[in-house]
Amino acid sequence: MIYKNILANQSFIKKVGGGTINLNPNPKLEDFKKVKTKLIIIFTYRCIVLTFFLITILILKYFFYIHIYNELYILILSWFILSYLSQYILKKGIIRLTTLKKLDFIHYIIGLLFMTGFFYYTGGILWIGAIFFVFPILYVSLLSTPKEGLIITLLAIVFFSLIVFLEYLGYLPHKEIIKFNPYLYKDIRYIMGTVLVISLVFIFIFLAGKDFTQMLKQKNDELVKAKKKLEESSNKLEDKVKLQTDELKKSKDRLSILYQISRSISSTLELNSILKVILDFSVKISGAGKGSIMLLDKKKRIFFIKTPYDKSEKNIDKITFAENENTIGWVVKNKKFLYIEDLENDKHFSKIKIIRRRIKQLLIIPIIIEDKVIGVINLENTSLNPDTIDLLKSFSEGASVAINNARLYQKIQDSYFEIVKALAQAIEAKDPYTHGHSERVMQYTIQIAQKLGLPKEEIDSLRYAAILHDIGKIGVRGIVLNNPNGLSSEEYDEIKKHPLVGEGIIKPIELLQSIRPLIRHHHEWCNGKGYPDGLSGENIPLGARILAVADAYDAMKSDRPYRKALSEETAIQELKRGNGTQFEPKIVEIFLEIFETKN
C-alpha cells in the first residue's frame, strides 16, 4: 500500500542494526571505469575517422589523379588495426588501473608519431599540414593532466621541427602530394620563422584547451555542490516522510476502503447500483448493524427510503420524512451529521416505531449537492468514532458527486433518446405508411430481449437500434418508398442499400458505435440469403436477429402503397413460414409466446 511504496522508494539506504549505511561507490573503481570508457570511445572514434580518411585519399587518387604515397596507406591501415585491437582488448581483457593510465598517455605519443608520418608524406601541404598535430594537442589538453599535456605539446613541436629541418638539410628526401616547390622552402629565415610561429600556435592551443578544461572543472564543482545541497534537502524530506509513516500506517486500512469505494462508484453511472455500493461500504466502515439511504422527492418535498440495507424488511418502503421534520429537518437545516446515542428516549424520532426492531444509536450523514441536502445515509446501532465520521463525510462528498453525475447522465440519455426518436419520426415522415413503425419495432424488440434475459446495457442498445434501424431510408427517393405499383429490380436494389447507408450515418457518433452492426445486418437471413453481406446463422449479431423478427412482423401489419396491412393471423403464419430460413427459430418462438401471453 502507500507505506510499502514509500519504503520501496528508499532503496538507496540500507538499514543495519537500527542505523543507516550509505551505499557509496568505490572511488578507484569509478576512476577505472571512467578511464576505460574514455579510451574505448577514443579508439572507436579513431577507427571511424581513419575509415573516412582512407576513403578521402582514395577519391583524391582515382578521381583527381593526385599522387598518394603507399606509405600513407600503410600508416592509415596500421593505425586503424592498432586502434581496433586496443578497443577490443579494453572491452574483453582485464587491465590494471595503473596500466590503463599508462596506456592513456602512451596512445597520445603513438598518435603524434602517426601524425608526423602523415605530415611528412603529404609534404606538409604548404605547411598547412601542421594541423595534423593540433588534434592530439587538443585532446591531451582537454582530457589529461597539465604535465602530460605539456609533454605532448613539446613533442609535437619537436617532431614538426625535425621534419622541416631534416628536409631542409637534405637528410630526408622531400615528399609531397602536390607538386609545388616555392623558393621560400629553401630560405632558412622563412623556415625558422615558420617553425617559431607554429610552435607558438601549438603552445597557445594547449593553454586554451587547459583553460577551457579548468572552466569545465569549475562548472562541474558547482554542479557537485548543487547536488550535495539537493541530497541534503532529500535527506530532510526523508526525515519528514519517516515522521509521517506512523500516521500513514494507521490510516492505511481506512484509505484502502475509501479507494475501493471510490473505484466502485466511478465504475458505474447507474444510480441504484451507486447507492447500493454507498450503503454497503458505509455499513462496513461504521460497523453499523443496518442502514438505509433516503433521497429527497423534490415534488413532494419528502425524504423516502431509496435503498434499504434489508429489502425484505416489512413496511420499509412506507417510511418517509418531511424535509423539515424531526432529525431529518435538523440535518437539512444545519447541513451537518447527526448522532443520537439513545434513540428510544429521543423525542425527535417518532416515526421509528413503524420499524419493528430495536435501534439504540443512529448516525445520519447528509449527502449534499450544490449546498443542498438531497439525501441522507442512516446508520443504525453504531458508535461515534471521529476517524470514522471524517471518513464517512469524505465518502458522502464523493457520493454526492457520483449521484449528481448519475442523474445528469440519465438526463442526457433521456434527452438523447428523445432526439433519436424525433429523427426517426422525421424519416418516417417521408413514408406516411410507416408512421409509428420504429416505435412499435422498439417495443417488440425490448420485449423479446427481456424474455431472453439480456443485460440492461444490451437492451438499451437495442432501443436505439430499433428506433434508428431504418435511418438509411433517408437516402432512398420518396418516389421509390411510395411506389403503388411495386418495386422494379433497380428500385429494390436501391432499397437494399439502406442498411449500409444507415450504418454510415451513425458511424461518426461515438455513443451509437455499439448498434452499427445491428443496423447493418437487420435484413440478413438465417440461411445466408439476406443482405447486405449474406451472413448466416450465429454470424448475424443477436440484436440484428431480434430486430429482423420485430421489423418483419410490424411491416406485415402495416399498410403499404402497394398493399393493405396483413391480418395478425396471416402475419404470424408468415413468421412461421420463414422460421429457420429467414428468422431464427428461438426468437420466433419467444415472439409468439409474447403474443399468446398478451392475448
More confident residue, 246 or 85: 85
The amino acid that residue 199 corresponds to is S
**CA dihedral sign of residues 486, 492, 495, 496:** positive
Task: Flag whether pLDDT at 5 surpasses 60.
Answer: no
Task: Flag whether pLDDT at 235 surpasses 80.
Answer: yes
More confident residue, 249 or 209: 209
Question: Over the stretch 479-491, which tens digit does the pLDDT of each residue have?
Answer: 666 666 667 778 7
Least confident window among 144-148, 324-328, 395-399, 500-504: 395-399
Q: Is the peptide bond before 532 cis (omega within 30 degrees of 0)?
A: yes
Structure confidence at residue 89 (pLDDT): 78
C-alpha cell at 143: 582530457
According to DSSP, residue 565 is labeled P
Task: Flag whether pLDDT at 350 surpasses 60.
Answer: no
Domains 271-409 and 429-598 share a fold: no
Residue 9 pLDDT level (bands cut at 50, 70, 90): very low
Residues pairing with 560 in the sheet: 563
Least confident window among 4-8, 117-121, 316-320, 447-451: 4-8
Which residues, including other chains, have CB under 8 Å from residue 279's CB and lie 6 or more apart? Answer: 291, 292, 293, 307, 309, 377
More confident residue, 197 or 598: 197
Question: Over the stretch 352-401, which tens digit does the pLDDT of each residue have?
Answer: 444 445 677 888 888 888 888 888 888 888 877 777 777 777 777 777 77
Structure confidence at residue 250 (pLDDT): 59
Task: Flag whether pLDDT at 161 surpasses 50.
Answer: yes
Question: Over the stretch 292-318, which tens digit does the pLDDT of each residue have?
Answer: 888 888 888 888 888 887 776 766 767
Domain 271-409: state its class: alpha beta
Structure confidence at residue 124 (pLDDT): 60
- In angstroms, rounded to a whole number, what is the distance separating the alpha carbons of residues 104 and 42? 10
What's the average model confidence in pLDDT over 114-143?
Answer: 73
Distance from CA of residue 566 to its chain's centroid? 57
Question: Over the stretch 237-276, which tens digit does the pLDDT of each residue have?
Answer: 887 777 777 666 656 766 676 677 667 666 666 777 778 8
Question: Over the stretch 149-158, which tens digit does the pLDDT of each residue have?
Answer: 888 888 888 8
- In angstroms, rounded to a whole number, what is the distance separating the alpha carbons of residues 406 and 404? 5
Least confident window among 88-97, 281-290, 403-412: 88-97
What's the average model confidence in pLDDT over 194-203?
Answer: 84
Give the mean pLDDT of the chain.
Answer: 77
C-alpha cell at 357: 426492531
Nearest partner of 582 among 544, 594, 317, 598, judged by Cα: 544
Task: Flag whether pLDDT at 93 surpasses 80.
Answer: no
According to DSSP, residue 471 is labeled G
Distances (CA, A) of 208 to 140, 160, 203, 204, 205: 12, 20, 9, 6, 5
What's the average model confidence in pLDDT over 74-87?
Answer: 80
**CA dihedral sign of residues 190, 196, 199, 203:** negative
Structure confidence at residue 520 (pLDDT): 93
More confident residue, 351 or 50: 50
Determine contact, residues 279/286, Cβ cutoff 8 Å: no
SS3 308: strand
pTM over 0.95: no
- Measured from the Cβ of residue 253, the count of other Cβ atoms closer than 10 Å reads 10
- In angstroms, rounded to a whole number, what is the distance separating the alpha carbons of residues 363 and 343? 10
Within 93-127, residue ranges assigned H as helices are 97-121
Residues pairing with 295 in the sheet: 304, 375
**CA dihedral sign of residues 154, 160, 164, 170:** positive
Total residue count of the chain as it appears in this document: 599
Q: Report domain extents, the chain.
A: 27-216, 271-409, 429-598
**DSSP H or E segment with residue 549:** helix 542-556
SS3 540: coil
- Measured from the Cβ of residue 544, the count of other Cβ atoms closer than 10 Å reads 24
**What is the spatial order of strands in the sheet that 338-340 belongs to?**
320-322, 302-308, 290-297, 372-380, 362-369, 338-340
- In angstroms, rounded to a whole number, what is the distance separating the alpha carbons of residues 317 and 306? 8
Distances (CA, A) of 593 to 56, 444, 566, 588, 590: 91, 12, 20, 9, 5
Residues pairing with 302 in the sheet: 297, 322
- pLDDT above 70 coverage of the chain, percent: 79
Conformational region of residue 65, where left means phi above 0, alpha means psi within -120 to 50, and beta covers everything else: left
Which residues, including other chains, have CB under 8 Å from residue 358's CB and lie 6 or more apart? Answer: 344
- In angstroms, rounded to a whole number, what is the distance separating the alpha carbons of residues 466 and 437? 10
Residue 471 pLDDT level (bands cut at 50, 70, 90): confident
Are β-strands 320-322 and 372-380 bridged in parallel, bridged antiparallel, or unpaired?
A: unpaired
- In angstroms, rounded to a whole number, what is the distance separating the alpha carbons of residues 579 and 485? 28
Task: Flag whether pLDDT at 540 surpasses 90.
Answer: yes
- In angstroms, rounded to a whole number, what is the distance separating the alpha carbons of residues 289 and 361? 10
**DSSP H or E segment with residue 500:** helix 498-506
Q: At what angle do helices 146-169 and 188-266 cross, to 10 degrees?
A: 140
Residues pairing with 365 in the sheet: 377
The amino acid that residue 389 corresponds to is I
Least confident window among 44-58, 358-372, 428-442, 544-558: 428-442
More confident residue, 174 or 412: 412
- In angstroms, rounded to a whole number, what is the distance separating the alpha carbons of residues 550 and 46? 81
Determine contact, residues 320/303, Cβ cutoff 8 Å: yes
More confident residue, 425 or 369: 369
Specify the fold of 429-598: Hypothetical protein af1432 (1.10.3210)
The amino acid that residue 378 corresponds to is N
According to DSSP, residue 533 is labeled S
- In angstroms, rounded to a whole number, what is the distance separating the alpha carbons of residues 120 and 175? 7
Which residues, including other chains, have CB under 8 Å from residue 417's CB and lie 6 or more apart? Answer: 463, 464, 467
- In angstroms, rounded to a whole number, what is the distance separating the alpha carbons of residues 111 and 137? 10
C-alpha cell at 531: 443482405
Burial class (CB in 10 A: 0-12, 13-18, 19+), 134: middle
Conformational region of residue 75, where left means phi above 0, alpha means psi within -120 to 50, and beta covers everything else: alpha
Nearest partner of 442 among 426, 416, 455, 461, judged by Cα: 461
Task: Flag whether pLDDT at 4 surpasses 70.
Answer: no
Residue 16 pLDDT level (bands cut at 50, 70, 90): very low
